[in-house]
A and B are shown apart, each in its own frame.
Chain A
Amino acid sequence: MSKLVQVKNVFKSFGDIHAVNGVSLDIQEGQFYSLLGPSGCGKTTLLRLIAGFEKPTSGQVFIDNTSMDNIEPNLRPTNMVFQNYAIFPHLNVEENVAYGLRNKSEKKSDQNKLVDEALELVGLSGLNKRSANALSGGQKQRVALARALILKPKVLLLDEPLSALDKKLREQMQSELRHLQRAVGITFILVTHDQYEALTMSDRVAVMFDGKVAQEASPRDLYELPNSQKVASFIGEMTFIKGEIVGENKNLQVQSEIFGKITIDKSRVFGQSSKKMVLGIRPEKIAIVPKTSRSKDLISGKIIDVSYFGETTNYKVSCGTIETLTISSQNSVGQLSYSVGEEIQLKADMNNIIAFSV
């Protein structure tokens, strides 16, 4: 695998607004890469810089070891699926899909064959002559995909392509996109604000805040080992507890009211500037155990809030301190349900606690 797209210390400002504020990324060939972040974090601008619709204020973009400095979008080895799909309303499905091909020198009969293949790939066979305005959102999405993929770009850029679809269709398209990417082997760069979309689809995710990359990792590492409180709370939920360092050798000993004195491996410590630390734990790493269990590191508490989500239930538990724990419990076979006010016992998986600097 080689580095296909390299973003080198790129800045982009619009007047006083620094949309992209010093980003460097290496994207490997054949990867499904996601840029994840809240709206206004600069992820779309970064994608548009790669596509060539914006010019960096400083820094460089390389594709296939070639600087893209003075290369116009129409000459870049990239194609884009736009957020609103940008299907040409005056052309039918076939003409839309063939749009880019018409700029190439191949014979028209060969091009028509490619169009049919592309339509089959995205599951729109037989809709060749359908007017663009008669398409549903999902179909427009597929036309946009076919139109970009037919040109066999080195990089396919997807700008929040699924955000306009309803939940069911979105989930279906997520898995289809993933399969499509594996089938065609083209590098995909996806911009999304949906953390679950990024986690389920990508090989690698870059989380962006305020024009900067906060963390770049595989989906699993991103969830299990977020490197800051901000990333941790953006990707799923996390409970934060104040703690203080009481000892340090190969590992770190941290004292906190709820967990007591615990040992945290150095690989799970992010930033260490003072004695004060913040401990984080994911809601599903805490289990509710029967009241009859006896073990030394059990935490007892009282349920103060219950949110039912179908397959899981979230409990907020007060443990006699200012802080509350959030627990996510799978509603699987045999799982008891609890109600507000009940006294329960908890067992936290101490190996999954992460320590952040304050």
Chain B
Amino acid sequence: MMFLLSFWTQDYLILDKTFTLNNYIEAFTQPVYQLLFSRSLYISLTVTFFTVLLAYPMAYFISFYGGNRKALWLFLITIPFWTSYLLRMFLWKVILGYNGVLNSFLLWLEMITEPLTFILYNSNAVIIALTHGWAPFAILPIFVSLEKIDRSLLEASRDLGDGPIKQFFRVILPLSMPGVVGAALIIFIPTVGDYITPKLVGGTDGLMIANMIQVQFSKANNAPLAAALSVSSLVIVAFISIVFVLINKKHLRRY
């Protein structure tokens, strides 16, 4: 339905059902859409990068140093899910705001003389909030892939002369790549199309493609263009995901 819709035209109240590519041409040529697409990709790729970067040490810690408290640690990680996503995103406003927790704290410490403004109502805020919101989803697949590594392989690598750092890069990281790839896809795919986070903390500089789609569907009353934007973003996400999986094929193949 959405796919069909993207080839039609909205003519005020009437839907013109003649086939046209104009919506796609508009979606890919108008600077505003290009900007929104590239910002969405930039935000979600950055979020993916930082989420995986943050989640890896946590998963590593739980897997290798969790002892018999692994279940407890995993349970603690789910605690943020006990409140609604909306509420958690909203709280970032309280933390990052002009008179927010972070600014007050830094002012109190006298590390800054006036409140920081680059942390709310722009892309940075969206990145911070999304990274926080999605981190638990990245921890789990990485944790599982680390758990699957046979501990005798670690001993073998030490036995064959590796120090701890070499061991990490020669054995642990390559063997946990399936988890990293999984985590990256889990974060990347939904964050590209995230709508609520940019709406709450993104201001005008942090809006993403999903916000535009919503505007086109409702206020602008241009469902066909919205559909074309949706399909385009679907294709872009699918393309990037496939490229990502192909790059990591080497790591994924052997299991």
Contact = CB atoms under 8 A, between A and B. Distances in A.
Interface of A: 51, 53, 72-74, 78-80, 82-84, 86, 88-90, 99-100, 103-104, 131, 133, 147-148, 151
B254 interface: yes
Contacts of A131: 254
Given A131-B254, A133-B254, A88 B156 contact: yes
B155 A53 contact: yes
Name A's interface SS. Answer: loop
Nearest to B161: A103
Nearest to A79: B159
A88 B157 CA distance: 9
Contacts of A78: 159
Given A84-B150, A84-B152, A90 B159 contact: no
B166 A103 contact: yes
Given A82-B155, A86-B156, A103-B161, 20 more contacts: A53-B158, A72-B158, A72-B163, A73-B158, A80-B155, A80-B156, A83-B152, A84-B152, A86-B150, A86-B153, A86-B155, A88-B153, A88-B171, A90-B175, A99-B160, A99-B170, A103-B166, A104-B161, A131-B254, A148-B160
Main secondary structure on chain B at its contact with chain A? Answer: helix
Contacts of B175: 89-90
Contacts of B155: 53, 73, 80, 82, 86
B251 interface: yes
B80 interface: no
A82 B152 contact: yes
A90 to B, nearest CB: 5
B161 A100 contact: yes
B162 interface: yes
B152 A74 contact: no
Contacts of B152: 82-84, 86
Contacts of B163: 72, 74
B66 interface: no
B190 interface: no
A88 B174 CA distance: 10
Contacts of A86: 150, 152-153, 155-156
Nearest to A147: B160
Contacts of A84: 150, 152
Contacts of A103: 160-162, 166
A133 B160 CA distance: 20
B75 interface: no
A151 B161 contact: yes
11 contacts: A51-B159, A73-B158, A74-B162, A74-B163, A79-B159, A84-B152, A86-B156, A88-B156, A90-B174, A104-B161, A151-B160
Nearest to A92: B254
B255 interface: yes
B249 to A, nearest CB: 13
B255 A100 contact: no
Nearest to B177: A90
A259 B175 CA distance: 65
Nearest to B155: A53
| For the complex of A and B, 6 pairs with smallest distance between CB atoms | A100-B160, A103-B161, A86-B156, A86-B152, A73-B158, A90-B174
Interface in B134-181: 150, 152-153, 155-163, 166, 170-171, 174-175
A90 B254 contact: yes
Contacts of A89: 153, 175, 254-255
B251 A90 contact: yes
Contacts of B255: 89
Nearest to A100: B160
B161 A82 contact: no
Nearest to B159: A80
Contacts of A151: 160-161
A104 B160 CA distance: 10
Given A89-B255, A103-B162, A103-B166, A82 B174 contact: no
Contacts of A133: 254
A89 B156 CA distance: 12
Contacts of B156: 80, 82, 86, 88
A65 B172 CA distance: 34
